[in-house]
Structure 1
């Protein structure tokens, strides 16, 4: 049996929606399956790197947010910062980003079905979803960090590294900087992202299991700027962050976004990688070279994966963790080069 759509995208988050937009522009017939109503929130640092901003602009999207001019590391009295050299980033609420992407996909005529895809059946010409009439030549697994499809296909790779988690909350205080600030503490990092004239997002990345308020006490200078009464959202969590996939292609299933594998949020590139991966995936489907997607994915994510892996491993070594921030402060040009290589 053949026929059906060109692409069935399982997951309507940013990675899946970006894939849908690239597919429409490539002239492909596409449908998205997403059981949650838009907009979908997620524990996210909510800072878009300049490359992600450029990707949104290429889609014709204007998302409300706060310009981000660079990255600043802070540890006690030490600081080092680097400006983005090729245009600003953007601090944007995850819900605003998702709303804009979702509406653009709907406006492009792509059906978004209230359906969860947890298992599929493959043959030589396509993929079917049991219990439905859905069929497509290719299935895109864009179902997130803990992808049920990745697991059902046996593509999970267990990791031995200590798990890290993310916690996020918003505070109704005016941003005091146009930089994303990364505060280094004894057990993790705190990311402060300007999101609007009177709103900042605070994301904590840590291996420590404790409530947000307890974790925030590890950053006393930051906590002093964030009175409890200024908190305007509940704490939202995510993790374990490190997820590995054996491959990005499995028969007629292609993995994208967090489902394709995730190292850590330490360098803040999740959305940039999702958009880049979506473009690589559709390019290969369009030109009839889906087997090259794995190679292309590895190529376009290599710099990020190597730098993030190096930084996370150093962070988890008791002898190395205390010297990361002082080293960055002593070598500002190297810090700036790293920031802009990732941006």
Structure 2
């Protein structure tokens, strides 16, 4: 058995592959529901209703999808250049730290300026964090997967130190949390009696902006070229190191904005448990979207719906909510397999 590259892959096949992958994932997870002794269709009905059945459920799904869109974009852009950024979690927290430092009273601006200021500074801080493994990869050939993964733990330990010490809110009664973001820096809610905030709109704008950048700009073309064939890109005159540095700044910046969005839009202050793994989940979001920036929106909402709806399914049917993690993991595997079969055909002999 061997793999042979398909010369022409129709667009309908590329679009159908993730849909079939999700369907197969749901079929496989149905076996787990049957194993638990529960009806499959009713369980999935509760999951869908818990994620989309009411305006409140929809708002919770979109709220959960907001950081996933940002971290999904971070992974998609980096992976397009074959810069394997596994450090979205650390970059998210780095953006959140800068938002807390600057947005809790150190600097006060009009909201029209304060919110972009926090977004930009958080993005820059996270982008510079990803620049470390990128430069190590460029000049010392250090594996960026290992470095970005380890940086996640370093950043989380650093955040823990800050929240237990210099950045702890004096009004928190000893609880490890940062000072609250001032009103000028808070992302306003966009639905009544719901947690959905302006960060979701900014995430949609970021996804469209990334698509335009990657599709129509010269820099986007260079990023895609480096990812497709770095040697051919170098031969054509593209500066590989410069392109990877640019990729790192954009990718890390997207993850950093996710942290700013969570601090300034959802919680209002920094805590160590602010992210339940949004940085890692962003990789799954990007893979399901097949690294397409616009596809990241639908992918993020899909995964957010699974996580939010799983709670409703668990309460209504007595099924462990951890099945959501299984569904996400199986979806990733099926997506990877579908991407492989779309790009290659299996040849016997």
The TM-score bracket by the shorter chain reads: under 0.3
Of structures 1 and 2, the larger Rg is shown by: 2
- Normalised by the length of structure 1, the TM-score is 0.26
**Which structure shows the bigger proportion of residues in helix conformation?**
2
**Which structure shows the bigger proportion of residues in strand conformation?**
1
Larger relative contact order, structure 1 or 2 (CA cutoff 8 Å, min sep 6): 2
